[in-house]
Amino acid sequence: MKNPILLGVNIDHVATVRNARGTDYPDPVQAAFIAEQNGADGITVHLREDRRHITDRDVEILARTIQTRMNLEMAVTDEMLSIAEKTKPAYVCLVPEKREELTTEGGLDVKGQESKIKEACERMAEAGIQVSLFIDTDEEQIDAAARTGAPLIELHTGHYADATTEHEREVELVKIQRAVSHAVGQGIQVNAGHGLQYHNVQPIAAIKEIVELNIGHAIIGRAVFSGLDQAVSEMKKLMVEARQWPYLV
């Protein structure tokens, strides 16, 4: 395919199930292996400060066993930057984090903490790690991301996913399309993710400049019923199919 769309499978919630009982299973390491065998182009894990799902042990083992590439999502803290330096994932995705949140609620405020994020990007670049910034579809945030030197952004698709009417969803889709063009115009690679599932992924996958989608909760949820192999390959199939659609803007 000339313009492929890549799938990063987020395996956080395999660890959520494991940690609910303090057992050794299900193991995210096994999940990564199955996901890779069934079309995942990368594996994403979010090492939260409260370690509610993925743990340091998971990151250490995954760093040695992932065959594709690891995308380590993390808050911009010294502790997390040091873990990244030690484990050397291919990518880190810097995200905002609140301990009490159920999941990530919004994009990183790059504009409001530009020098801190620029320093983090430089520190990661020195360690040979590519940085992605998880941000909203806001042109000022995209411009700030460009100034930090981050080669990638991941656009937050949560508002699109949470839309309750067709009109609202269309409005959010247009915001994503415009943000993609704006970022690509500045030479930034654009990924996207959050809240994507089997029924809403295709219009996003059809945006031809988006390189990769990171999807987790919906895939792991479906895997409970269909198995992880099918859950991953079905998602990839929908994405690849949508990539053949005519461009939407």
Ligand X SMILES: CC(=O)[C@@H](O)[C@H](O)COP(=O)(O)O
Site for ligand LD2JLWAY in 40-99 (CB under 6 A): 44
Site mask, ligand X, residues 220-249, x = CB under 6 A?
Answer: ------------------------------
Integer Cα distance of 86 and 56 in angstroms: 11
Choose the contact partner of 124 out of ligand LD2JLWAY, ligand X, none; CB within 5 to 8 A by kind.
Answer: none
Residue 196 in the binding site for ligand LD2JLWAY (CB under 6 A): yes
Stretch that binds ligand LD2JLWAY, among 22-30, 123-131, 194-202, 222-230 (CB under 6 A): 194-202
Is 191 marked as a binding-site residue?
no
Residue 11 in the binding site for ligand LD2JLWAY (CB under 6 A): no
Is position 167 annotated as part of the catalytic site? no
Instruction: Say which of 36, 73, 97, 172 is annotated catalytic.
Output: 73
Is 13 marked as a binding-site residue?
yes
State the CB neighbour count (10 A cutoff) for residue 70: 23
By the 10 Å C-beta count (0-12 exposed, 13-18 middle, 19+ buried), 121 is classed as buried
Q: Which residue type sits at 180? A: V
Is 216 marked as a binding-site residue?
yes
Residue 159 in the binding site for ligand X (CB under 6 A): no
> 203 φ, ψ to 5°?
-60, -30
Give how far Cα 177 sits from Cα of 155, 167, 233, Å.
10, 15, 26
**Nearer Cβ to ligand X (33/134):** 134
Integer Cα distance of 31 and 180 in angstroms: 31
Is position 156 annotated as part of the catalytic site? no
Among 124, 131, 205, 215, binds ligand LD2JLWAY (CB under 6 A): 215
Instruction: Say which of 36, 46, 154, 156 is annotated catalytic.
Output: 46
Residue 95 in the binding site for ligand X (CB under 6 A): yes
Alpha-helical (H) ranges within the chain are: 12-21, 28-37, 56-65, 78-87, 114-126, 139-148, 158-162, 166-185, 201-205, 217-226, 228-243
Instruction: Say which of 97, 159, 194, 212 is annotated catalytic.
Output: 194
Among 206, 216, 223, 228, binds ligand LD2JLWAY (CB under 6 A): 216
Smallest CA-to-CA distance from 214 within 162, 173, 155 is with: 155
Site for ligand X in 34-93 (CB under 6 A): 46, 48, 73
Task: Show which residues are catalytic.
Answer: 46, 73, 194
